Amino acid sequence: MIASSFVVALAVLLSAPSPSGPLSPAPEPPEAGEPAPWPGFDDAADRTFLYEVARHLYRWYLDERDVAPEINRNEFVFWVREDRRALDEGDKSRFAEITLPRLGVQVLVKASDYEIPELDLHVASVGFKIVNVARVAPAEDPPADARVVVVPWPEMRDHLFRTRNAIRPPAGLLRERMRSAARKEIAHELEHRGLPMPEGEQVVHLAPLSPVANEAWVFWETGRLLIRFSADIDLASPALWAHEELAVDLFDIDTQVVVSLDEAAGSNAYLTRDQVGRVLYNAIVLGQRLVLDPPPDAKAPAVEPPAVPER
């Protein structure tokens, strides 16, 4: 079957209203010698944003063994701190690290803000977006520069349960652009492998989009291929499609699936069965089923229609 390199990343989460409320108490002013509060800190520690991050983890990473220890707790804790990394000259992007210490999960988020002079393009994301999720050792004591945000565990648990199937599917122009991009990538891959297009109707499934991740997944049912689109620009931005700044990764579910990533240590060309299962759940169960080649009279709308209400 089809095979190609793949960058492991799972970040298709869903958008729904999140509980609002005050943040945890603001930290004391920094002492002499400590760095000043960084721009955007409140955005990364915003309660609504953290609820969306938690929902992403709930859908893509957490399972029963993660949730069980929290059942008897009264609080759910986040640590939020700036990730101060070296950037290219002129790059104003910001990074933050969000840790769920009791679960041993760490999330890296990025607010892109830089120029691509050769394209005369300003790359800027709308708020912070998830770029990586990693397992870390559970911890009790937060870093000195972290803000501790505490929410009631019963509130978090009820929110995750209530919104577990809430989705925002690609719609209008964006859906047609994704359909076209999927068709293009499949054709390129088949040409590269010297394979003909399979006979019959070509069906793809589009996973729901995320308000906190600039990526989307497509499952080509006929060819048993996962396609991941990602970018530093928001997927709905016309500039992204005009300049073709969309990264594409392919994954063959027949040849690039393992039980443990230790089986292919040092390679990012594989996913575990659990990871593939979560992608397929989002794409097939919660996503949209589309025919790759629409009927001749089916045309993309001239303007973007109103967003489809979440279900």
- Phi and psi at 266, nearest 5°, equal 85, -5
* pLDDT tens digits, 175-219: 888 988 999 999 998 998 898 888 888 899 999 988 888 889 999
Closest by CA to 174, choosing from 257, 240, 251, 249, is: 240
Strand partners, 226: 219, 251
Q: What angle do CA 96, 97, 102 make, to 5 degrees?
A: 155
* pLDDT tens digits, 23-79: 333 334 334 344 445 556 678 889 999 999 999 888 878 888 887 777 778 899 999
Check if the beta carbon of residue 268 is closer than 8 Å to that of residue 250.
Answer: no
Q: What is the pTM of this model?
A: 0.77
Q: What angle do CA 55, 58, 62 make, to 5 degrees?
A: 155
Q: Where exactly are the structural domains of the chain? A: 41-162, 172-291
Question: Whole-angstrom Cα distance, residue 289 to residue 278?
Answer: 17
